[in-house]
Amino acid sequence: MALSIVVPVYNSEASLELLVGRIHASLGTRLAPIELILVNDCSRDRSWEVIEKLQTCYPWVRGINLVRNFGQHNALLCGIRAARYPLTVTMDDDLQNPPEEVPKLVEKLSSESADVVYGTPQRESHGLWRDLASMITKLVLQHAMGAATARNVSAFRCLRTGLREAFADYGSPYVSIDVLLTWGTRRFASVPVRNEPRLYGTSNYTVRKLAVHAMNMMTGFSTLPLQFASMAGFGFMLFGLLVLAYVIGRFVIQGAVVPGFAFLASIVAIFSGTQLFALGVIGEYIARMHVRSMGQPSYVVKQASGD
């Protein structure tokens, strides 16, 4: 089946030629026709020049150059919307997702009658803090995707291109491809794949960036924080009733009030903190609404090349 491959590119001039060569060697004769969409997310190196050079050697390579750095998921959204063929594969530009494993995803997509298949690494080796941040991100995804699916989420995925119609009108600077895919389907599957060590450079995803991404998913695509704030408010309301019962009970039984400034100050601090937390959560949602009302785009294309 005809296949579109979308790769977000950021500072990857050293790995692009090898990546395209491996895609050509492994897929050029097995899946036809194919296209490779390289979305340059405003790299600071010569990545765009390398993409233009590759287009002269491989006519099935297409390039999209964004005006500034929007982020990996925003670049993926741009590439998915530009895909021409019925199936779309997304993968990283660092060769950790082996192109030779793509047929596994395509076969699984057909045999399972699924709409999205994730290539789950058999063994990940990003380091303790990166693995911990990835685990937190997947825990956030569970609310939108279900526990079983979220555990298998990765950047290496194969999807039916028609799913993009579910988020065709989506326009926001905060993008999570995995959450957007749940708007179009609940039929997810996964298949184990190799995860090769990174050959060039270092990962652009830090613990802080993954934490920010998790926060964006929680407040941008889920009401879970609001539900948590409501539960916290209800819980402390019960706590306040228990404190009130204790104060009244002591007065009735012993004829004395609860002494001490520390007790009163602690109660005030607990309830004030809870109120401020709830207001902060509500404020975060209002800020998201404000950003969306301004119409800030998910990405802006500077130039595109290739057939």
Query: Residue 248, CB half-sphere, CA atoms under 13 Å: how many?
Result: 6
Flag whether pLDDT at 8 surpasses 70.
yes
Q: What is the mean pLDDT of residues 155-166?
A: 94
| pLDDT at site 69 | 92
Q: What is the rounded distance in angstroms from the CA atom of residue 116 to the CA atom of residue 112?
A: 10
| pLDDT at site 294 | 74
Flag whether pLDDT at 305 surpasses 70.
yes
| CA-based torsion, 15, 101, 175, 295: positive or negative | positive
Q: CB-based contacts of 219: which residues, under 8 Å, 6+ apart?
A: 225, 281, 284, 285, 288
Token pair of 77, please? 């959204």
Q: What is the rounded distance in angstroms from the CA atom of residue 48 to the CA atom of residue 219?
A: 34
Token pair of 277, please? 């937390």
| pLDDT at site 247 | 74
- Are 131 and 124 in contact by the 8 Å Cβ rule? The answer is yes
Instruction: Return the bridge partners of 48, or none.
Output: none
41 pLDDT tier (thresholds 50, 70, 90) = very high
Q: What is the rounded distance in angstroms from the CA atom of residue 157 to the CA atom of residue 36?
A: 15
More confident site: 165 or 289: 165
| pLDDT at site 287 | 75
| pLDDT at site 91 | 95
Q: How many CB atoms lie within 10 A of CB 208?
A: 10
| Lateral strand order in the sheet of 34-40 | 188-193, 116-121, 157-160, 87-90, 3-9, 34-40, 61-66, 301-305
Q: What is the mean pLDDT of residues 60-85?
A: 94
More confident site: 268 or 168: 168
Closest-CA residue to 63 (of 36, 23, 27): 36
| pLDDT at site 62 | 95
The rounded percent of the chain whose pLDDT value lies above 70 is 76
Flag whether pLDDT at 84 surpasses 80.
yes
Flag whether pLDDT at 98 surpasses 70.
yes
| pLDDT at site 165 | 95
Flag whether pLDDT at 237 surpasses 70.
yes
Token pair of 249, please? 């009970």
| pLDDT at site 35 | 94
User: pLDDT, tens digit, for every residue of 182-196?
Assistant: 889 888 999 999 887
More confident site: 305 or 66: 66
Q: How far is CA 213 from CA 58, 117, 147, 160, 219, in A?
A: 35, 22, 19, 25, 10
Q: What is the rounded distance in angstroms from the CA atom of residue 220 to the CA atom of residue 214?
A: 10
List phi, psi (to 5°) of 153. Answer: -65, 140
User: pLDDT, tens digit, for every residue of 45-64?
Assistant: 999 999 999 999 999 999 99
26 DSSP assignment:
H
| pLDDT at site 78 | 96
77 pLDDT tier (thresholds 50, 70, 90) = very high
Lowest mean pLDDT among 73-77, 220-224, 239-243: 220-224
User: Mean pLDDT score of the chain, rounded to an integer?
Assistant: 82
- Are 67 and 298 in contact by the 8 Å Cβ rule? The answer is no
Q: What is the mean pLDDT of residues 198-213?
A: 65
Q: How many helices (H) and strands (E) does the chain have?
A: 10, 8
Instruction: Return the bridge partners of 9, or none.
Output: 40
Q: Which of 121-130, 209-218, 266-275 has the highest mean pLDDT?
A: 266-275
- Are 56 and 280 in contact by the 8 Å Cβ rule? The answer is no
Q: CB-based contacts of 135: which residues, under 8 Å, 6+ apart?
A: none
Arch. (CATH architecture) of 3-221+296-305: Alpha-Beta Complex (3.90)
User: pLDDT, tens digit, for every residue of 133-146?
Assistant: 666 666 666 765 66
User: pLDDT, tens digit, for every residue of 238-281?
Assistant: 777 777 777 777 777 877 766 765 567 667 777 777 777 778 77
Q: Percentages helix, strand, coil for the chain, rounded to the nearest 5?
A: 50, 15, 35
- Are 15 and 2 in contact by the 8 Å Cβ rule? The answer is no
Q: What is the mean pLDDT of residues 95-102?
A: 91
